[in-house]
Chains A and B, each alone.
Chain A
Amino acid sequence: MRAMWRLLAELGAAIVGIATLVFLAFAVVPVDPARSVLGPNASEQAVKALRSEYGLDAPLPARYFRTMSRLFQGDFGQSFYFDRPARSIVLGLAPVTLARTGAALLLGLVLGMGAAWCFGVLGWHRWGRPVLVALQSVPSFCAMLLILWFCSRTFGRTPIGSAGLYELMTVVGAAAYPVGAIAYYVLERMSPVEGIPRHIDFLRMLGAPQKYQQLTMLRDAFPGALAITINALSVVLTAVSFAELIFGLRGFGIVFIRSCERGDLSVVMAGSMILCVVVILVQRLGDAVLRRIDPRFADA
């Protein structure tokens, strides 16, 4: 019960903090959303009327308290650009982006464990590490550009004609970072240079086959790999947003980026809140799972 209250307090603090930052970013800097919607040729009266309609002419503190009170009722306001409630836009698109992110994280965990297992069994500790470091180091938007170049050059497929291929490539490209990070960590745990744990030494003394010793080490490394997967959420979400922008895929990433450019506060606010809540909830859920499967995390 105490943990639940703590989580709620944490969520509340994060929501207020992020909402204040988003509000200030859009309020203090001189960008006029009404002008950006109506265009540079619109008359001053039309701009004024739109400002008044959306309450943009009210003083800053009044707008802030109105936004915050609406926020706690789950109302993010109306989008200037789409002329629809921001919540419906975000709830319609965020699941697509989050599903891609989830798929990339899951693929990263599976491939990361698999790659570490292969490199460990084959004894490719020396050659496997540079590959895994490369996977972690390549900036996500560079990876997406390379994928676009490779697919269009090799298969002659563009994102317009082959959405399925680029959906797959989004997940694969976004999974590169978790694969590298997880496989590197697991490989370090399985490396004979880093020191063999006592229970593996015991198994060795009993004459257990090499395969079972490595399987035991792989199982021991799983909680750490899961923690890395959870921590990689923000990196993967960013990579998926870039993929949506570069490949032109339907999703929240591209809408978020375009809404930032248009100054559409309600969509940015709704998206920020949902992202923030999802990231915190996934992290806390992951912590709870880790505490359950590994007592060392409970002690920490």
Chain B
Amino acid sequence: MPKAAYAILVSAALLVAAAAVLPAPVPHADRILRPPSGSAVFGTDALGRDVCYRTVLGFGYTFGQAAIVLGASLLIGLIAAVISALKFQRWPDRLIVVFAESLRSYPALLLVLMFAAVGAPPIYLLILYFWIPIWRSFRFELTSQQREPYVLWMRLMGRSGPLVLLTEVFPNVLPRTMPYVVGLLSEVIAAQAAIEFLGFGPDIEQPSLGRILLESGQVGVSASWVWMPSLLVLVITALSVTWVVRRYRRAIKWVPIG
């Protein structure tokens, strides 16, 4: 199963790259809502556009946005975690805790939706929300290492707290925490697609998984070839990411460096 998950992720990346390079199929008014056939593998939508091509491009857009959100959240989460670990249980850490807890006590999607509805770009708001689990995970790992013999030994050698944290503790906790961060990708993709589904996505010209689902809702559930590929892509991506992460987590053997 994990091999299948890797294969799915790699072939999806290749498909997106190919779709970005190849010219877009021209929509035909006489091919509206056609079920899958030889000329259109996944059929056509209400405007005669090729569903397969749009699904692949939509996946590329949604996945790309989710990757940007995760990258930025990782950066912010790491900076906040280092501050929390250095000032654990003191006012900078407590301030971050109160802020993070207040935000996380609110359902993610409703928070993002509220801001998206008044015009703020959803991508920033997803970042505002998703740095918190990363910060929480790194904060726990970084602070739990502070009493380990290798850290105490380095401190006895005269190294400063921040230097030990960055050069010794951080490389040790990274392999254990990264699977969790990558695992968040499926959650971010789901949130991104949900925002697009609610109508707060990119321009009409740009296909995205959520927008395809939204548009197909106007056609009706009976034309399942229009929306089913996007839905399956979302589900399979989520499953693949989860499986790759679980496989990696079981494969690593944690031995402290230093």
Contacts from A to B (Cβ < 8 Å): 10, 13-14, 17-18, 21-22, 25-26, 29-31, 130, 133-134, 136-142, 145-146, 148-149, 152-153, 234-235, 237-238, 241-242, 245, 256-257, 260-261, 263, 268, 272, 275-276, 279-280, 283
Would A142 and B234 be within 8 Å (CB), given that A234-B107, A242-B194 are in contact?
yes
Chain B contacts for A149, CB-based, 8 A: 221, 224
- With both beta carbons as reference points, the residue of chain B lying nearest to A236 in the complex is identified as B107
Would A260 and B114 be within 8 Å (CB), given that A133-B246, A238-B109 are in contact?
yes
- With both beta carbons as reference points, the residue of chain A lying nearest to B224 in the complex is identified as A149
Chain A contacts for B234, CB-based, 8 A: 139, 142
**Contact present for A275 and B113 (CB under 8 Å):** no
Would A145 and B101 be within 8 Å (CB), given that A138-B238, A268-B114 are in contact?
no
Within 8 A of A (CB), among B107-144: 107-110, 113-120
Q: Is the interface of A mostly helix, strand, loop or mixed?
A: helix
- With both beta carbons as reference points, the residue of chain A lying nearest to B117 in the complex is identified as A260
> Can you list 10 A-B pairs, Cβ within 8 angstroms, ordered by A?
A17-B98, A17-B103, A18-B103, A137-B186, A139-B194, A141-B213, A145-B213, A238-B108, A268-B114, A279-B105
Q: Which of A18, A134, A136, A152 contacts B106 (CB 8 A)?
A: A18
Residue in B99, B118, B239, B241 whose Cβ sees the most chain A Cβ within 10 Å: B118
Give the docked Cα–Cα distance between A18 and B115 (Å). 12
Give the docked Cα–Cα distance between A256 and B234 (Å). 26
Would A31 and B239 be within 8 Å (CB), given that A10-B101, A238-B108, A279-B105 are in contact?
no
Give the docked Cα–Cα distance between A139 and B114 (Å). 19
**Contact present for A139 and B120 (CB under 8 Å):** no
Give the docked Cα–Cα distance between A137 and B109 (Å). 16
Q: How many residues of B contact A (CB 8 A)?
A: 42
**Contact present for B239 and A29 (CB under 8 Å):** no
Give the docked Cα–Cα distance between A142 and B196 (Å). 13
Q: Mark B64-101, 1 if CB is under 8 A from A, else 0.
A: 00000000000000000000000000000000001101
**Contact present for A256 and B239 (CB under 8 Å):** no
**Contact present for A142 and B231 (CB under 8 Å):** yes
- With both beta carbons as reference points, the residue of chain B lying nearest to A256 in the complex is identified as B110
Would A14 and B101 be within 8 Å (CB), given that A142-B235, A242-B194, A257-B113 are in contact?
yes
CB distance from A28 to the nearest CB of B (A): 9
- With both beta carbons as reference points, the residue of chain B lying nearest to A9 in the complex is identified as B98
Would A29 and B119 be within 8 Å (CB), given that A13-B98, A139-B190 are in contact?
yes
Given A137-B239, A153-B222, A241-B110, 4 further pairs, Cβ under 8 A = A26-B118, A29-B119, A238-B109, A242-B109
